[in-house]
Structure 1
């Protein structure tokens, strides 16, 4: 491939990723700005973040940056995440805390937190459409659904019984080791192992988590005295969350096989 074509495709890939991350990028930007400049004395910072997230979501829908199907993904993620947040922040568990005051919340959980998880679902749903994902070697949906149910349950049960995350990661590797994801940035389809794709996205989530904890959105017990980077081992949790998110989005979007005919048909449609 000529150097110009490579640079063009790399540039387009970055632009499309940024477009897909629109909701998550907006949310992170609001968190950073309000940490260093927040003049509204009549409204708690956390409540402002919640209202800003709702407003931006409405904006995306009204101006058709987001489809109703993608909005449905956000609602599902918000519900699933809020249940987990209520458990994780319970006084008896205390996995992390939200140190600032708020009115819009349930128990120890401010309502904007669900949007942090749904930002992941929003990204996946949008990039799925933009890059026209197709797959080869994808396993049957039934074991994949059982796996993500166990992953979700393990986020709760590991506080009472041994943590099964490494077994679940091993099962993930066995189930998806043959799976390739095909995506089109410009004029031709590219591919990569799906397991690698999940790892790359999980790494970016981990980086965003470090920024969010630095600007006091939530605090882990190890950060209560002074901020420190989130341990790299946390990647395992984000990796499992990526798998959970991916399967949920796949149930909404459906899976398209990357057969030779389908890839040629996609190229023909573009031309």
Structure 2
């Protein structure tokens, strides 16, 4: 019950962007897609969610997504793009309810409120979307995709979250909240594929990492296998070193030092940190 992309090629304005990319993600895991700007991360995600034409094959739980009707895909995977523009004055609750149009369930309004509560926005149901901060809007959109695939495993198998930079506009506390939420979704059997820029958060939370560079896969595997000095330095074009955070009382602020206890599958202090 996996997501497998084989020989994916995408061209935009006649310029090749992806050059035969192979990608694999498993339910029950957080798979991070990382790489420098322009490496093809968003293009790969948009191909896997059928937002862009591609050649090659993408199979979700054994089925070619090109042959699946949209309503079936909408019930099995939800997509969070980098940015969402809302022209009309919807409330936060109404935005979340949009996600439920693809997956009807009992007590939809209560579930939408629960989704807002999960992303730290309890009581925001009546707030207009345009009046929210950028970070609050981002979390409303996350609540929308959660409401769409609320149960990580359904009668038709695992459900999937596809997320493009889900923590980019958030402060460190909310970044940790969101990443904890995604890790929990995976731990309960769902699949999570997320484009990430923060390599430290990737090291902490990802079970698998795909590093893209110039439209090709530079490395795939566990964080320890992919996040190495040589691999990262080559992809990002600057010297990078993978280190472990120093022991207290040294002053050294990294996300995993603030990690909420009891909410991770990794032991605190085991995750590497990436510094320039």
The TM tier, using the shorter chain, reads under 0.3
**Which of the two has greater helix per residue?**
1
Q: TM-score, normalised by structure 2?
A: 0.24
Q: Which protein has the larger Cα radius of gyration, Structure 1 or Structure 2?
A: 1
